[in-house]
Amino acid sequence: MDVYRMNVYNGKFFRQITSPGPVINWATDRDGVLRLAALQDEESLSYETKIIYRDGEDEELEKSIVLKGYKMVGEPLVGMKTKRKSTLHPTLEETPMQ
C-alpha cells in the first residue's frame, strides 16, 4: 500500500512514498515524516517481519532489521495448576490435583 498525503484545503492528493513490498504498518516521526515500514510476507512460512527505516525525509527506506516470528495456532496458554498454587496466571482457582 502506497502512502498519500492530502491537502485538506483543496482535496488534492500526492504520493508521498511507494510501497517497498507487503507493508503491514507505517510509522512517522512527530513531524509526520515517514520513517519506518514493517513488512511481512503472509505467503512465507518463515513469518519474519522486516523493519526498514530511514534517517531523513530525503533518504530511501533501506536500513533494516529482521524479526523472527511464528504463526500463532490454537489458543494461548493462560495458566497451569500445580499442587500448591496456580502458575502463570494468579487468578486461577486452586483445585486439588488428582
Render pLDDT for 11-53 as a digit per residue (tens, 0 to 9).
Answer: 999 998 998 988 988 998 888 888 999 888 777 767 788 899 9
What are 70's three cell numbers? 511464528
Predicted structure pTM score:
0.61
Separation of alpha carbons 19 and 38, rounded Å: 11
- 8 Å CB contact between 26 and 37: yes
What stretch of H or E contains 69? none
Separation of alpha carbons 1 and 40, rounded Å: 12
What are 91's three cell numbers? 487468578
pLDDT in tens, 47-70: 788 899 988 888 988 888 888 765
The arithmetic mean of pLDDT across residues 79-85, rounded, is: 47
